[in-house]
Amino acid sequence: MKHAGLKALSTIPALLAAIRRYPALTEKRPGIFYLKSVAFLHFHEDPAGLFADVKVGKEFQRTAVNTAKERAALVKRIESLLAGK
């Protein structure tokens, strides 16, 4: 599964805007976010859709972000992780 390109990322502008609101995250490249100096979140695309890999502990966990419900769940998860919950 390849990293999401600009065309794929252009399908989720509201999600990216929501993620960019977190000052703790730095977007090093489009759709690739770091927490301090550690990779925290990036996106993949394949024929099944768009997926986010978010760092939980020491490993990335993949989640689909194809529906509004899935995107809202990702934002909620990011918020929880950044709050240390």
Percent of the chain's residues with pLDDT above 70: 99
Using a pLDDT cut of 90, give the percent of the chain over it.
95
Do residues 42 and 53 touch, judged by C-beta distance below 8 A? yes
Q: Quote the pTM value.
A: 0.93
- Which helix or strand (DSSP H or E) is residue 80 part of? helix 68-82
pLDDT tens, residue by residue, 11-33 = 999 999 999 999 999 999 999 99
Domain ranges of the chain: 2-82
Within 8 A by CB and 6+ apart from 7, the residues are none
Phi, psi of 32 (to 5 degrees): -120, 115
Residues pairing with 55 in the sheet:
60
